[in-house]
Amino acid sequence: MRTSLRSLTPKLLAASTATLAGLPLLAQDSPYDLEKAGWYVRTGAYIQMGMKLSVNRTGPGSAPTPGIYDNGYVQPDISQRAQGLTWNWGYTDPGQVANGQLQYSRVDNLATVGSLNGFKDPSLFGPEILVGFDFYQFEMLRKDTHFGFELGFRQGRYSGSDQATVGSDVIQQRDAYDLGGITPPLPPYSGSFAVPGPMISLTPQPQAPVASRATSSLATSFASDFYTARVGAWMTYPLTPKWDLEASLGFTSIYAQGNATFIQSTTYTNPAIPSTVQSVQTSSGDWLPGGYLQVRGEYRVLPWLGIYAGLEVAYNGAFQLNGLGYEAKFDFGANYGGSAGLQFSF
């Protein structure tokens, strides 16, 4: 059966009309119309500056205590000097046992490094991503202004090290305590105040002191990851059809997870005093709450795609790690920075 062109013409016209009528429905699937749903995603990079990193002594140096030495101690026990003996003593090295005595020594007047402030610039750089929702629209200065909320995440890492050296003239005080014929437990040994144990003399026998020049150094390395979460409110004001001025204000919390290594070494010009090295590594994590204010400019390349750049100020607390009587402190305080990237609207 043959179909004439005349009979097909009405059907083609009807199909064309239906297709044209359906174009607005197809357009609703375009990014331009989806943008009116009010969601957006910003993704880019940020830099954060103005923080401080330093290492300081956690407390003032203490005066020498009688009976406390660099290699042990001899203190009264619970009997309070009964018969001039004590079980509250300890020592660290087998070489301290000689001629029926325990030999102790302590270096006095030793100067140590007080602080470190030469770490490289403690700034953070890394990726960021934020999700926002257009909650409310109103008119300001005859232009449609948008207000909403945002939730974001950032990640950054810092690592650095510093060291310093100080010199001083020192005196090594030396005392000996009579063992009273006992064989001391192998070192390291530590007696206690209340628990009985082997007893030695509580009376020191002063030995000839040793003078020397000392050089003490402190080296500290610090490394930490910083994970930032922020939630806040934002407002957008259109300057032109392509340019928007935006601002965000909200709460931010940084989780810091880091470690620090402290190494303290001391050398002496007099070989009669042995050099010493102490080292400790510590790690910890902590939350640092605070707030932020950001001002941005956005240029719309397409109705659903924009390029943003912004400046911000923020405030957070300090992250601290302790070791060897020192504290490494990464202090955010009042800091500042910027960010830039792409914004996708839905």
Q: Where are the domains of the chain?
A: 31-64+111-172+214-345
Average pLDDT (84-109) is 96
Give one word for 279, left, alpha or beta, with left for phi > 0 and alpha for psi -120 to 50.
beta
Q: What is the per-residue pLDDT across 185-205, written as a single tens digit (0 to 9) for each?
A: 999 999 999 999 999 999 999
Predicted pLDDT at 27: 36
The pTM score is: 0.81
* pLDDT for position 37: 55
Q: Is the pLDDT of residue 274 over 50?
A: yes
Separation between Cα atoms, residue 346 and residue 41, nearest integer Å: 8
| pLDDT: which is higher, 247 or 79 | 247
- The average pLDDT across 112-141 equals 94
- The whole-number pLDDT of residue 81 equals 81
Q: Tokens for 78?
A: 């619970």
In this predicted structure, what is the pLDDT of residue 300?
94
Supply the pLDDT for residue 60.
Answer: 74
**Confidence at residue 141, expressed as pLDDT on a 0 to 100 scale:** 85
Residue bearing tokens 């941005």? 296
Average pLDDT, integer, range 136-163: 94
127 pLDDT above the threshold of 70: yes
Q: For tokens 């009528």, name the residue.
A: 21
The whole-angstrom separation of Cα 339 and Cα 127 is 9
**22: pLDDT confidence band, cut at 50, 70 and 90?**
very low
**Contact between residue 100 and residue 183 where contact means Cβ atoms under 8 Å apart:** no
Q: By C-alpha distance, which of 90, 43, 99, 97 is closest to 71?
A: 90
Of the ranges 22-31, 108-117, 167-176, which one carries the lowest mean pLDDT score?
22-31
Tell me how far apart the alpha carbons of residues 265 and 260 are, in angstroms, rounded to a whole number: 17
CATH of region 31-64+111-172+214-345: 2.40.160.20
Q: 232 pLDDT exceeds 60?
A: yes
